[in-house]
Amino acid sequence: MLRQFELVEKVAEYDPAIDENLLNKAYVFSMRAHGSQTRESGDPFFSHPVEVAGILANFRFDYVTIIAALLHDTVEDTVATLDDIKNAFGDKIADLVDGVTKISKLEFSSESTQQAENFRKLVLAMAQDIRVLFVKLADRQHNMRTLHYIKDPLRRKKIAKETLDIYAPLASRVGVQQIKEELEDLSFKEINKPAYETTHNRLKYLRASSAHPIEDIIDDLKKLLDKAGIQARIFGRIKTPYSIWKKMVSRNSTFEQLCDIIAFRVIVRTLPECYQSLGIFHNSFWVIPGRFKDYISTPKVNNYQSLHTTVMSPKHQRIEIQIRTEEMDLAAEYGIAAHWQYKQGGNAHDGKQYQLVCNLLQILEHTTNPEEFFENTKLEIYRDQVFCFTEKGEIFSFPKGVSVIDFAYAIDSWVGDHISGAKINGKPMPLKTVLQNGDQVEIITSSEQSPQSIWENFACTGKARTRIRQFIRSQQEQRMMQLGEKIIGEELQRTGINKEILNSRVFLSRFDCENINELYISIGEKIFSLEEVIACAQELAQTKQ
């Protein structure tokens, strides 16, 4: 566990704006607040927020984030209140702590609803300040490191599955590769221990038997670049157990058949040197067909940029080479944090400026059901990319399996609602057509067109599915409202009761309706029977007489 002065010194090394007194104060405040509390491991509870702060300090987060990490459990787990935090540390830090605290355990009608509601809170909190997400990711990372201390195996598996389903993909989407990989491996180890151990042992053997060849390959790559006058830093690493296992499953391959177990990272000075280095490697080694990816011209959704290629090394091993600049490497290591950690002033921490948050907020805006929101956002954060273009050359990235309908909604909600046809690479194609990398798509709209329920079968993105469901739901409500109005209108006319009585506040409150349209919908959907509505109307009519 980091001692107080060690943490302060660590943050001071990279954050010139540090308020050392405030950081010292937060350390002491958290230690006193947690007092004699212990974790399931038997360690002092205070060790947890310190470890979380240490994780974030390794990523060079500003001192405000580090303070929020130290305090993130005080409001939920101690007698300290949010007002105490506000009075001692100010509004900004209190808002961050509040954002993390809101993603806490609440009692809901079902476990799935609780998970969905907590995720909705996380999205709203990170929209206000993206640093909330990073504190939560670091919190989950340390909790996963100590997961084995939890005695209940079902509880361990539940936490591991939630981590693999939600937090690892979120870490990937904000570009924090290190956290993402550790969360995946720790979850994998708990969820499928036999598969983890088999893969881990094979990688361990490969690492032990390949130590010198990896160094030799690095030397070979470096000599080629030195000869061309390109200065580069080159690293070799064996990929993680979960990433290897996932590829074995998705490709239906054996461990021996995988060609990208070993990856070499080549970091050069300039963008032109990336492509120059690629040409040198392709001219010097046998290139494995279909294994080249240019993430520089078309970055991943988390803004990751790099050239990836797989070649046959002189030692007759298939190796993956990743080529990028120093700036790209910083973004690959720190993700969104690399974008703002050195940025001065402004709204660098406002979550609404990041595409991931904007996409999730759009889905949230049009979804009232927490579980439906959760389902659609899971689609949003699992994005194995396909890049497509409009006829004007604007580029969009999508998850694999995306259809023309998804493309239309990505352009604009109105365009999606009114799509009547499409051309892909100049040829008319059905709306259900699945798009491929590089497709150019022209959307044809008509003001007479509206979403159809069958569209949901072809939609892949959360935004498209949410908009389609919202429209179909509103159409159903409209039909039920018209039906209910007709049914009750005919009966009121037959019984001679004045229709105006339905608009009275007393009448509507009897049926817990805000307005008469809600009442019509409830009648149309047979939530209330015609008999009980007429009986109530007759009762109130007699009272007025």
pLDDT digits (tens, 9 = 90+) for 440-470: 899 999 998 999 989 988 898 878 888 898 8
Q: Where is average pLDDT lowest: 40-44, 244-248, 366-370, 398-402?
A: 366-370
pLDDT per residue over 408-423, tens digit each? 998 988 999 999 999 9
Q: How far is CA 271 from CA 196, 267, 278, 282, 292, in A?
A: 38, 10, 11, 17, 17
pLDDT of 344 > 50? The answer is: no
Q: Which residues lie closer than 8 Å to 16 by C-beta, 6 or more apart?
A: none
pLDDT of 176 > 90? The answer is: no
* pTM confidence score: 0.68
Cβ(149)–Cβ(277) below 8 Å? no
C-beta neighbour count of 399 within 10 angstroms: 18
Greater confidence (122 vs 319) lies with 319
Query: Which ranges of 175-291 would DSSP assign to H, the alpha helix?
Result: 177-191, 193-209, 211-227, 241-251, 271-284
Cα separation, 140 vs 379, in Å, equals 21
Q: Which of 77, 333, 371, 491 is catalytic?
A: 77
Average pLDDT, the chain: 84
Cα separation, 359 vs 376, in Å, equals 11
- Residue 208 pLDDT level (bands cut at 50, 70, 90): confident
Q: Which of 9, 15, 73, 76 is catalytic?
A: 76
- AA identity, residue 55: I
- Rg over CA atoms, the chain: 29
Greater confidence (366 vs 527) lies with 527
What is the distance between the terminal CA atoms of the chain, rounded to a whole angstrom? Answer: 79
Which pLDDT belongs to residue 501? 80
pLDDT per residue over 39-71, tens digit each? 988 999 999 999 999 999 998 889 999 999 999
Which pLDDT belongs to residue 429? 93
Cα angle 522, 526, 530 (rounded to 5 degrees) comes to 90
pLDDT of 117 > 90? The answer is: no
- Residue 107 pLDDT level (bands cut at 50, 70, 90): very low
Q: Where is average pLDDT lowest: 43-47, 140-144, 313-317, 340-344?
A: 340-344
Cβ(4)–Cβ(47) below 8 Å? no
Burial of 151 (0-12, 13-18, 19+ CB in 10 A): exposed
Q: Could you confirm whether 76 is annotated as catalytic?
A: yes
- Residue 375 pLDDT level (bands cut at 50, 70, 90): low
pLDDT of 136 > 80? The answer is: yes
Q: Which residues lie closer than 8 Å to 309 by C-beta, 6 or more apart?
A: 278, 281, 282, 287, 291, 292, 293, 320, 321, 323
Q: Which residues lie closer than 8 Å to 55 by C-beta, 6 or more apart?
A: 69, 138, 141, 142, 179
Residue 394 token pair: 């604007």
| Nearest CA-CA partner of 470 in 430, 416, 424, 521 | 416
Cα separation, 208 vs 79, in Å, equals 51
Which pLDDT belongs to residue 5? 93
| Nearest CA-CA partner of 523 in 495, 474, 486 | 486
In this prediction, residues 116-132 reach a mean pLDDT of 75
pLDDT per residue over 381-390, tens digit each? 555 567 788 8
pLDDT of 268 > 80? The answer is: yes
Residue that the structure tokens 């392709």 belong to: 282
Cα separation, 181 vs 160, in Å, equals 13
Which pLDDT belongs to residue 111? 56
pLDDT of 359 > 80? The answer is: no
Which pLDDT belongs to residue 105? 47
Q: Give all domains of the chain, ordered by start, each with its CATH number.
A: 4-195 (1.10.3210.10), 210-334 (3.30.460.10), 353-469 (3.10.20.30), 478-544 (no CATH)
Cβ(359)–Cβ(463) below 8 Å? yes
